Structure 1
Amino acid sequence: MKSAASSSARQRPGLRARLAASMSDPVLRALVTSTAVSRIGRGVFLTVTVLFFTQIIGLSPAQAALVLAVSSGFGVVASLLGGWLADRWSARRLSFVFEALGGLLLAAYAFAGDFVSALVLASLSGFFDSIAHSSRSAIIARGFAADRRVHARAVLRTITNVSIAIGGAVAAIALALGTAEAYRTVIVAAGVLCTIGSFPLLRLTAAVDAPPRPVVAPVLTATGSIDADAVAAAVATEKRDWRRRSPWRDPRYLVLTVLSAVFGMQFGVAELGVPLWITEQTEAPAVIVSVLLITNTTLVVLFQVRASRGTHDVRTAGRVTMIAGWLMAAACIVYALAAGLPAWVAIVVLIIAMIAHTFAEILSQAGAWGLSFELADPVRAGAYQGVFGMGFSLGALFSPIVVNATAITFGFAGWGMLALIFLAAAFGIWLIARRAAASAPVAEAV
């Protein structure tokens, strides 16, 4: 028995071999190359944006918040539009064009000098970046087999985290120098990197684009002339079938999108709730915010791919989402417990909470990807991914409001409210997945 186990262990490919096997896929290779380059630029930009607005341009905190909120609002609309366009035009060309435009607009931030110019540039940049992101989701839906889509998303998310961390390190140069020239230089560099990162997308093949809609053949009468009424009826039938496949006519998918958006507010907890809680309600030093961010990024890089295995199966996707719900609820309660404790104890408690939070994030993302692909109509993959992406954008837009109205306002009771919200959302997603899995054999039999 031991010999067999040892033989099996020897035969199992190592991490490097598994990565090499993944990168042998030309679609994944192009996406990984593009992501690795462009997300370094995004990491630079995300790190310096707010401080550039407030310290260099001279915007007030309220104006900076408004710029970011409006940009997010444009991103919501763009997510939907990007999916719609990806079902009608070439998804690979859309991704290339809009990502390149988004990069150029990021570089143009360096020349913003007041509130209006910052608002316009942020809105346009967020708009084009979200369209490109929706197009990429359509590419993943069509470019990989069902059991490889979630793996591809997990690999790309891992690369994204690594690249953003590198970008954050580059941005530290501007933060350390603190001059307007340093900020503007790294912003231009960030935009150029994002633009360069769009070029590998040109290596994608037409296989990732939406298949052409069926063309109605002319119907001839007995005399050999075209039967206009029959052709019109066939065209109307094709249009009805196209509209019938719309995600807006799929209640199950819409509920899944809403619940996933609710659970997606956990990103708002990490970005807004935890830093404010640490600085206002705990004895832990502010630097612990950076420690928690590093902890989160490291765990995502190490575990996102392996945690995503098998989540192309809807039952598995629902199960891991339910586990994520319990972990997120526990994280909320543990975050709350850090208040009033001695500094060193609070630090330990916060790290434990972040570990639970990060694994909730990892599992919830894996489950969401699997369900968003498997429960979508493949004919309208772009539209479905656009709607799902729009849901996440809405969750990101409202999460600061919800987090502030619960945890930050009511303390421990507010954290308890958040825990119940996440648990309820996870339960709803689990229920959808369970019912979808139960009905699948019936659908296949028909």
Structure 2
Amino acid sequence: MTAAPSGSPDTDSIPLPLESQQTSFRARLSVATSDPVLRALLASTFISKLGRGVFLAVTVLFFTLILGLSAVQIALVLTISGGVGVATSALGGHLADRMSARRLTLAFGIVEGLALGAYAFTSDFVSVLLVACLVTAASQAGSATRSAVIARGLVGRARVGGRAAMHTATNISIAVGSAIAAVPLLIGTDAAFRITLALAGLTAALGSLPLLRLPERVDAPKIEPSSERADAASTGVSPYRDRRYLALTALSALFGLQFGLADIGLPLWIVGSTDAPAALVAALLILNTVIVIAFQIPLSRGTHDVRKAGRAMAIAGALMVAACGAYALSGAGPVAFAIALLVVAMIGHSFAEVLSTAGSWGLSFELADVRRAGAYQGVFTMAFSVSSLIAPFALIVAVSNGPWGWAVLAAVFAASAFGVWLIARRAAAHPRHGDPSAANTLEP
């Protein structure tokens, strides 16, 4: 079994649920919710992301139809607030190694929810920008501290399983929240939008309350005054000096451009370069959501193992290369041909998303120095914040250049996936002191 983080008794953790295909769904669900850490995180995720789903469905229309913001102003809001989120990702992880991760995660979640609700009281570009910066700052810092909670509170395969379960709950909640948002969208009045945003923010804030039940084992072990001058042998290596982890983080974040491809690049490609109907965009996003919900948990099984995580990334890379090829070809034929290729490409793209997230989760936990869990997860979260920041510009440029742009994207996905696979292979052959994987040799 993987050694538990310092101060976290093994008896308080459980292995990843869903290990036996013969076990009934109800029994597996019971196992999943028997661990207090995972139970609290799942409850919090489901409630808070419900509010997020409502917010995501109405926010852009609120900015344009109600507040009258231009496309340039909305782009500035997203870019500036995204830059703030990059900084707070690292800060959140740093604080999680020095303060209570439980309290930090709770606090950031409440602040994020209340800030979301504050959009209901905005009236111009400046107020929207200030609220957006607060929302993103709390969201990214909370993401880093939540990852630190998982790293310390769960063990081995349960870490990836917990992330997979939370990712599934997120997709379900956002889908339900988006459906609820149809009501204010149909009404279309100023009051309907503002009341909806306020209620969505309140729901997101209330979603943090289950985190009050997190056990103490998710907090970093306290450093005694007499050990303040302890060196890296006891306090761990800084992630900024861990070249292997920095390379893993950069390559994983580069592959993470595939998230923006579905939301940003693909809609522009379908509308501007294919004969497929614009309505297909919504259908493809629904297909993506269904695949993620159905397969994230089962396909994440085993990716706590470094070698398996690396193989998952390699397969994801091959699928993304094939998907990019199909997306490119969809612009060269009639409607039926384009629709067929786009559907096939989205299926491959969706499975690549599932496998790449499972692989990157496993490696981000197993190759981190467990003694600096918060700092490592903060760096990993920060890299994906940077990826999200550059994705709109990079993907718009790529899809605007037709087949050549898709070829470049395919090369990027192939190179980043191969790099991650290579890192995983070498790490499995030469585990280092402080890696959770180094204590994993006895685990089946």
Q: What are the equivalent positions in structure 2 for 1:181-330 lying under 5 Å apart?
A: 181-216=191-226, 235-236=228-229, 238=230, 245-330=237-322
Q: Could you say which residue in structure 2 is the equivalent of 1:3?
A: none
Deviation at 1:214, TM superposition (A): 3.6
Matched-pair contact (CA < 8 Å) for 2:235–2:371: no
Q: Distance in 1 between matches of 2:148 and 2:319?
A: 30
Using the TM superposition, give the Cα deviation of residue 341 of structure 1 relative to its aligned residue in structure 2, in angstroms: 2.1
TM (norm. structure 2) is 0.91
State the distance in 1 between where 2:223 and 2:384 align: 29
Question: Which residue among 398, 402, 405 is the counterpart of 2:394?
Answer: 402
Which amino acid counterpart does residue 101 of structure 2 have in structure 1? A
Q: Which residue of 2 aligns with 1:437?
A: 428
Q: Which moved more, 1:72-81 or 1:154-163?
A: 72-81
Residue in 1 aligned with 2:17?
none
Gaps of 5+ in 2: 1-19, 440-444
Are the counterparts in 1 of residues 32 and 38 from structure 2 also a CA contact under 8 Å?
A: yes
Pick the aligned partner of 2:358 from 341, 366, 374.
366
Against the structure 1 CA distance between its residues 144 and 244, is the aligned structure 2 distance closer, same or farther, given a 3 Å change threshold? closer
In the alignment, residue 283 of structure 1 is paired with which amino acid? D
Calculate the aligned-residue CA RMSD, in Å.
Answer: 1.7
Greater CA drift, 72-81 or 250-259: 72-81
Over 4 Å off, 4+ runs: 239-244, 441-445
Q: How many angstroms does 1:340 deviate by?
A: 3.5
**Residue number in structure 2 paired with 1:30:** 40
> For 2:430, what is the secondary structure of its paired residue?
helix
1:336 aligned onto 2:346 = no
| Structure 1 residue 11 displacement after superposition | 9.0
Following superposition, the deviation at residue 172 of structure 1 comes to 1.3
Contact 2:235 2:372 in 1 (8 A): no
**Unmatched 5+ stretches in structure 1:** 1-9, 217-233
Are 2:51 and 1:59 equivalent residues in the alignment? no
Q: Give yes or no for contact 2:240–2:246 (8 Å, CA) kept in 1.
A: yes
For residue 331 of structure 2, give the secondary structure of its aligned residue in structure 1: coil
2:160 paired with 1:150 = yes
Q: Select between 277-286 and 418-427 the one with higher mean Cα deviation.
A: 277-286
Aligned to 1:97: 107
Report the secondary structure of 1:403's partner residue: helix
Deviations 1:60-83 (A, max 9, x none): 011011111112111111111110
Q: Are 1:376 and 2:386 an aligned pair?
A: no
Code of the aligned partner of 1:430: W
1:354 maps onto 2:346 in alignment:
yes
- TM-score, scaled relative to structure 1: 0.91
Is 1:418 matched with 2:409? yes
Partner of 1:172: 182
Q: Letter of the 2:406 partner, please give it.
A: W
**1:427 corresponding residue in structure 2:** 418
**Structure 2: distance between partners of 1:400 and 1:322:** 25
Structure-1 residue corresponding to 2:83: 73
Aligned pair count reads: 417
Matched to 1:407, the amino acid is: V
Separation of aligned partners in 2, 1:79 and 1:45: 22
Find the partner of 2:378 among 374, 377, 386.
386
Deviations 1:301-356 (A, max 9, x none): 00000000100010000001000000011111101111142222211211111000
* Counterpart selection for 2:27 from 17, 37, 45: 17
Structure-1 residue corresponding to 2:7 = none
SS in 2 for 1:13: coil
Higher helix share: 1
Query: By how many angstroms is 1:398 displaced?
Result: 0.8
User: How far did 1:407 drift?
Assistant: 2.1
- 2:112 and 2:134 in contact (8 A); partners too: yes
1:241 CA displacement: 5.2
| CA deviations over 1:27-67 (Å, ceiling 9, x no partner) | 11111000000001111111111111111101001101111
